[in-house]
A and B are shown apart, each in its own frame.
Chain A
Amino acid sequence: MTKSYLVETITQSMYGHTRKDVEDVVNTIFNTMSKALAEGHRIEIRGLGSFQIKERRARMGRNPKTGEEVAIPARKVPYFVVGKQLRARVNQDEDE
């Protein structure tokens, strides 16, 4: 499901909001989250999971095509941990 389809689905299941309203909200949600992560904050959405930043050390890598060694600089990567409730729902655990 893409963002536009998500917007469409939500618009149809809510009264009183236009597609544009919902689209603005969805964009604001993910822009706000991206900005928070870029600033180094952690994000925790109850029932969904949490996002945080992990630091990766610099290392030597290899170009798999040419076999040439290349230096990979230290970098930060966003990391998502699925919440307990959603993990169970996705796996369709019986006690959920």
Chain B
Amino acid sequence: MSARKTMTKADIVEAVYESLGGFSKKESAEIVEMVFETIKETLEQGEKIKISGFGNFVVRQKKERTGRNPQTGEEITIAPRRVLTFKPSQVLKNAING
């Protein structure tokens, strides 16, 4: 990718197909799909995903808190919830600033 653009799953499938050589386009797409699906299912169960050299996806439990509607000033209760955060690895951070 030369010009600044958005990479999508199709670009990743293409990279897998071209750089590995051992898979058909269809197989490449199936395995890539399976990788992301397994990651999503794992996170859905509240478990974290650690990809060395890339980063960690962590599900965090947030407590109930009182917030405020910034437009009306009205107080509202924000229910306890689970959120997903991504912590990039030092390797990725270095690559981006390299």
Contact = CB atoms under 8 A, between A and B. Distances in A.
Interface residues of A, number: 50
A72 B67 CA distance: 32
Interface string A17-53: 1000110111011101111111111111111111101
A11 B55 CA distance: 22
Contact of A89 (B27, B44, B57): B44
A57 to B, nearest CB: 14
B9 A46 contact: yes
B51 A3 contact: yes
Contacts of A39: 1
Interface in B50-83: 50-55, 57, 59, 81-83
27 contacts: A6-B35, A6-B38, A6-B39, A6-B51, A13-B34, A21-B23, A25-B23, A25-B31, A28-B16, A30-B51, A38-B96, A41-B5, A45-B8, A45-B9, A48-B36, A48-B40, A50-B6, A53-B96, A76-B97, A77-B88, A77-B96, A82-B84, A86-B84, A89-B40, A90-B43, A90-B59, A92-B82
